[in-house]
Amino acid sequence: MAQNFRRYQERNIGTSTRTMFTADSIDTVVGINISNTTGSSVNASVFITNTSLDYYIIKDAPIPSGSSLQVLDGGAKFVVQIGDALKVVSNTASSLDAIVSTVDDISN
């Protein structure tokens, strides 16, 4: 069975919501890492938008200067369905870098 791993990266995420990816199949999110690239603490939110409704994975989480937040830890993962968009936003302009890892497709 082959597994198609994908990585999505965004730099300088700020107060305008950034879409990391939109699922085009039933996918599994296996990792989300967000890094504060500023000299001050910032707050970050990660959420899924499905049919114009937002479902928060984490909301307004403080990230100290120069630190990162592993949003999924302890082996946690979750499934997204076709059309689900994973988004990241900060309370500070150009303050976050984010990496999301997924398993895009599982085939025989």
**What residue ranges do the domains of the chain occupy?**
2-107
3-state class (DSSP) for residue 16: coil
Q: Is the pTM of this model over 0.75?
A: yes
Please report the sign of the dihedral spanned by the C-alpha atoms of residue 81, residue 84, residue 85, residue 90.
negative
pLDDT tens across the length of the chain (108 residues) = 567 899 999 999 999 999 999 998 889 999 999 999 999 999 999 999 998 999 999 999 999 999 999 999 888 999 999 999 999 999 999 999 999 999 987 554
- The answer to whether residues 95 and 13 touch, using CB atoms and an 8 Å cutoff, is yes
What is the C-alpha to C-alpha distance for residues 83 and 62, in angstroms, rounded to an integer? 29
Q: Which residues, 6 or more positions from 75, have their beta carbon under 8 angstroms from its beta carbon?
A: none
DSSP label at 91? S
DSSP label at 71? S
CATH 3.30.420.40 fits 2-107, yes or no: no
- The answer to whether residues 60 and 51 touch, using CB atoms and an 8 Å cutoff, is no
What's the one-letter identity of residue 102?
A: T
